[in-house]
Amino acid sequence: MNKKYRVLCSVLLGLFIHGQSYAASDTFALKQLEATAQQAQSLCQQIALTCDKSAAWQLYRVSEQPEQYYVIAQLQLFQLTQTNKTFRLLNQWDFSDYQPKQVNTHWTVEEASKPSDERHLYPALFRVSEQSYAIGLIQRFNEMYSGGGMTEEVADFFELKANSKAELMFSNLPFYVTRMIRACFSQEDYERAGDVGCHDNENMLLNIRYQKPYQWQLNYRYTRVLSAVSDQKPANGRARYVVQAKQFKPIQLPTAWHEY
């Protein structure tokens, strides 16, 4: 799972899922753990995971509440508690059958209209109300260029509810972008570029802030760092949007960020 992104949020109130009380926070980053043999055995018995070497699941812990654990197994999320080194399942959510109705991208050469085959759950919980949090399902789009490439990610966020239920809150949110564009095309270019390099590098990061129930403030930061031989313009931009669940409209990022 790609860990390049950082999503920073401020501290406010609590979370209650399946009767469990959480420390006050807008976001819970899930800390990745290396499961011991005993933990793996308990988990595989509790939630029917495969425990062979090719198993595609990961154990996480909530830093603010050490007794709280999560397992992400592809597009499934399991919430557990541990007592005497034995896990007990509290809740689970399965997004394997979810099919986005539409996909909006900004950086792909041709705007994507079909869901990506590359999907994963982002290991963090984002507050959406005084009693609930959401998790992000990430779609990843990759393109290869001559001497470069691009990765763009789009997120759909689901409110996690009791009894394995989840409700779509926000869709098609621009989530993360990294792009590298070749700038050197001659021997002279390579000599002039020196240690700075022969590529333009772009990045876009998202910061999510909870404002009130079912309303978020999205803060985007975009940077473009150029090679010494580039014919483009550097950029260091910010954009802010307020989004409300069930009244949501697609985000349109500044065109200067994604047009060359």
CA-nearest of 64, 56, 59 to 14 is: 64
Residue 120 to residue 114: CA distance in whole angstroms: 16
Give residue 15's pLDDT. 33
Q: What does DSSP assign to residue 27?
A: E
CA distance 47 to 183: 50
> What pLDDT score does 140 carry?
93
Residue 199 carries which side chain, given as an amino acid letter? H
E-only strand ranges, 123-226: 124-127, 133-145, 148-160, 166-182, 199-212, 215-225
Please return the burial class of 71, using the count of CB atoms within 10 Å of its CB with bins 0-12, 13-18 and 19+. buried
- Tokens at 167, concatenated: 């409700």
91 strand-pairing partners: 79
pLDDT at 22: 37
Whole-number Å distance between alpha carbons of 88 and 45: 10
pLDDT means per 10 residues, the chain with 260 residues, are 34 32 64 84 78 76 81 92 84 92 79 81 94 94 86 95 94 93 78 74 93 95 85 88 88 86
In angstroms, the Cα distances linking 214 to 25, 81, 244 are 15, 27, 6
State how far the Cα of 14 lies from the Cα of 133, in Å rounded to an integer. Answer: 9
pLDDT score for 6: 32
Model pLDDT, residue 109? 64
Output the CA torsion sign for 36, 38, 39, 40: positive
The pTM of the full predicted model, rounded to 2 decimals, is 0.84
Query: Is the dihedral angle over the CA atoms 139, 141, 142, 148 positive or is it negative?
Result: negative
